[in-house]
Chain A
Amino acid sequence: MAQRWPKLVLLVAVGLVVAALVAFLIIRGTGERAAEAARTPYEQPALAKTAAGAGAHPAGQWYIPAGDYASTRFSDLADINTQNVGQLKPAFTFDTGYLKGHEAAPLVVGSTMYLVTPYPNVVYALDLTKPDRPVKWSFNPHPNPKSQGIACCDVVDRGMSYDNGRLFMVTLDGQVIALDANSGAQVWRTPVADISKGETVTMAPLVAAGKVLVGDSGGELGVRGSLKALDEGSGKVVWKAYSTGPDKDVLIGPNFHPYYPSDQGKDLGVKSWPGEAWKQGGGTIWGWISYDPELHMIYYGTSNPGPWDAEDRPGDDKWTAGIFARDIDTGQARWFYQTAPHDLYDHDAINEMILLDMPVNGTMRKVLVQPGRTGFMYVIDRVTGQVLSADPYASMTAYTGVDLKTGRIQHNPAEVPQSGRVTRGICPAAPGGKDWNPSAFSPRTGLLYVPHLNLCMDHVYTGANYISGTPFLGVESKMYAGPGGYRGEMTAWDPVRRKPAWQIRENLPLWSGALATAGDVVFYGTLDGWFKAVDARSGKLLWKYRTESGIVGQPISYRGPDGRQYIAIYSGVGGWVGGLVSGGFDPRDPTAGLGIFNAVPDLAKYTGRGGRLYVFALPR
């Protein structure tokens, strides 16, 4: 018996290698065929590549919302390609039972799919091996219902992360919970937010290097934002880095080397604010974190400063509305770049950062690319924090450019809001050129697929009053469609040539994430419920499907236990803009929902409330 073991192992190993080889050849073959068939004029001499080491991705699986640490949202599955995507059919659906904004990305680990709903943040594990995809287990964390009242823009949850047999989730009232992925049993639970101060958590935690990284939401309630790193095994807080305050709270030490002089100095998190304003200064972390395992650094953005009324907080308001690079083990800051010093318009820097290696002026650079809320596509050297380029990708009147010498964004003085006097025609509006909904990057095309907005606004400062646990804004705002009359846009951006390859205009604002696949198909959803597949190289619409409700989720792709490629997406309108329908608000008030509902007064004509997972596959 003991002697037969090695033989068996050898046999299995050889079999696996052969199977992998065959699979690789098949995938490569189909991918190439698809590429050939879809050939279009847009070809580039030099392609951007996913950052070496950060693009590792479990084959056919989806462990974290971004797919990989480089945040590419790229699936290397190519069964579904430009030729056959038109035959996609729903394979199965699943109703979550909740009707708020479904912004989360499903996860697939082994033969199980994990879903998390908006508040009350219920987790479902679906067994993918059975034809009915029954619920293996579910988990209700019972968050405090009071937290619903302080969530600025619908009670969303942007997803979970999986690592090493455990799922890591957050609740709206700020608890981080580790679950056993097999049984759904709670392993640990750590509260990291105080709802009496207006703190909530909506972001998807990121698990990397043995740590669970979690930020907070509440930039609209005068929260003092912070990022926490919890030990993956025990849930204990290992480090906590505030976004405002003295250097020791921000974890700024001798290794902090920001590229631009305006970020150099002692205790700027206090000195760039009037009085004690930094204590209610915002700078929350509610978006995305990328991780470069080679440099051992994480990258994330901080939110708008509080209050929105910028006249109440003269100064640069550090370290809000900027991008931090930190050492993942100690949390010590490495560099910082402020995309919007003294932010005037709620232009957070929380958007996703895609880690790429690409040629800039002839030399290969390690960069991060962020489609910023300011409307600029930032290409930043992720080692030093130097801005290599910043080109507008959305309609823009508020800014005239970014000075690459000082790193400072340049304001258009005519669009600087004032107290008591309405400033009109500010583009991009408060949700920015693009809000939280993440882009996808395909190393096959070298293009970044950016689902974004075309909104402008009228803005007036009214003065803010700070009452703990209530909004801290001091602004009235009213948004509307930008130039051209359309409200959303899908842009394929070529980071090397610094210009769009193609663009698709959408009537309604785009609030869903994007997915790029090796079949050269890009998937995204619209607020009126259409789930679309377009050609990654030309932008040609290849397929669309009307779901029951508006789509604000993040599509993913996986290989099921039956060997087929699937595409999964949540349908369930909500979030800031979709909250108009999910929250049942009144669009006759042009300032409702911080002014965004005025941009979509017709939304209820296109979609009702919903909460359903759709999974698509090619017919057998």
Chain B
Amino acid sequence: MRKLRPLLACLALSGCHGRQVMLGAAGRDGSMFANLWLVFLIVTLVFYALVLIGLVWAILRRREGGEPATRTGLLVWVGVISVTLAGLSIASWLVDRNMNRAPFTGLTVEITGHQWWWDVRYTSADPSQTLRTSNQLHLPAGMPVRVILKSADVIHSFWIPNISGKQDLIPGRTNDIVITPEKVGLYRSQCAEYCGLEHAHMAFDVTVEPLADFEKWWAQGLLPARAPVTPLQKAGYAYVTTRECSTCHNIAGTPATGQVAPDLTHLASRLSLGAGTYPMNSGHLAAWVADPQSAKPGNKMPVIGLEPDQLNAVVSYLESLK
């Protein structure tokens, strides 16, 4: 069993790749941090090796009393360690200084944390281009983005491990962080400050894409929700936009104008459901609508108690909101 431990550790570490990795180096800050980490790793490994070599040498060549040569060696050793530590500190300071200092280019995203989901608003100098969505972030590759962070209830923390460091969302305060995603890809952000029962299920998907794709996505996001087509979708539309759903959720272009829950205008185009809790598909959607308190216990969506045919209709309509 004892022999298996390093193996288990390796297994655990092997989980750290892909969409939510601290050393993913998919953003400017992330890259700098990964480089710094690598420098620390190499330097400390070298010194670890030197210490071990010294230890072996000392054991093999041990003798009584001190020797001037050894004393000189020790002095040199202390000097080398001091200089190296100072070098690491300076490297760390430089990286820290450069983090969150990317030139601001104009793209600003405002994120408000709620228990337990993310309200996302892309702002623009032209207010009619303001895009509101939730639980997802699309970012253009290579462009610094200023993320303004607010909280509607308790302290949350914004963290896209692959791209940048953390920044807290504090009620009554406005924080910000500038992040520069560099590699196109799909990533995952996770709330990094314990914020209540469903803290672990407060995540969102981050899509880093070329600027042209990003602009296309923004333009599509501004469109009102698709009109229902099939009779089933129409029945779902009638329920969603007039009943309990509409009291809390907003669907642009429909009478559903609630503002206290995630925006559903293009719900089905998102990758996940319930703030990164489940992948987006019909099965999960149906399970969520039917009994959100079993899907994510404690979240603020009530159990409505839909009849089976109502549930079918509602899910069919929600699925059409691409």
Contact = CB atoms under 8 A, between A and B. Distances in A.
Do chains A and B make direct contact within the complex (CB under 8 angstroms)?
yes
A276 B127 contact: no
Interface stretch (A88-96, A253-261, A417-425): A417-425
A409 B245 CA distance: 40
A463 B260 contact: yes
Contacts, number: 59
B171 interface: yes
Contacts of B28: none
Contacts of A316: 127
Contact of A465 (B174, B222, B248): B248
A270 B174 contact: no
B173 A421 contact: yes
What does DSSP make chain A's interface, helix, strand, loop or mixed?
loop
- Chain B interface helix/strand/loop/mixed: loop
Nearest to A422: B172
A272 B150 CA distance: 24
A276 B127 CA distance: 11
Interface stretch (B7-15, B48-56, B250-258): B250-258
Nearest to A314: B127
Contacts of A271: 126-128
Contact of B174 (A280, A313, A314, A418): A418
B310 interface: no
Interface in A270-304: 270-276, 280
A84 B212 CA distance: 81
B247 A467 contact: yes
A420 B126 contact: no
A315 B260 CA distance: 21
B85 interface: no
A463 B172 contact: no
B123 interface: yes
Contacts of B126: 271
Nearest to A272: B127
Interface residues of B, number: 24
B130 interface: yes
A272 B128 contact: yes
B132 interface: yes
A276 B172 CA distance: 27
How many A residues are at the interface, by size bracket? 20 to 34
A579 to B, nearest CB: 27
A313 B224 CA distance: 18
Contacts of B174: 418
B90 interface: no
Contact of B258 (A274, A315, A465): A465
Contacts of B269: none
Given A271-B127, A273-B128, A314-B127, A463 B173 contact: no
Given A273-B127, A274-B132, A315-B128, A421 B172 contact: yes
A466 interface: yes
Given A274-B130, A463-B260, A314 B248 contact: no
A275 B132 contact: yes
Interface in A116-171: none
Contacts of A276: 224, 252-253
Nearest to B248: A465
Contacts of B260: 463, 465
B20 interface: no
B259 A466 contact: yes
Contact of A467 (B130, B151, B171, B258): B258
Contacts of B255: 468
B306 to A, nearest CB: 21
A312 interface: yes
A276 B131 CA distance: 11
Interface in B237-267: 247-248, 252-253, 255, 257-260
A464 interface: yes
A312 B130 CA distance: 11
Interface of B: 123, 126-128, 130, 132, 150-152, 171-174, 222, 224, 247-248, 252-253, 255, 257-260
Interface of A: 270-276, 280, 312-316, 418-421, 463-468
30 contacts: A270-B128, A272-B128, A273-B127, A274-B127, A274-B128, A274-B130, A275-B128, A275-B132, A275-B222, A276-B224, A276-B252, A280-B257, A314-B123, A314-B127, A314-B130, A315-B127, A315-B128, A418-B174, A419-B150, A419-B152, A420-B171, A420-B172, A463-B152, A463-B260, A464-B259, A465-B248, A465-B259, A467-B247, A467-B257, A467-B258
Q: Which 7 A-B pairs have the closest CB atoms?
A: A315-B127, A274-B130, A421-B172, A420-B172, A466-B257, A271-B128, A465-B259
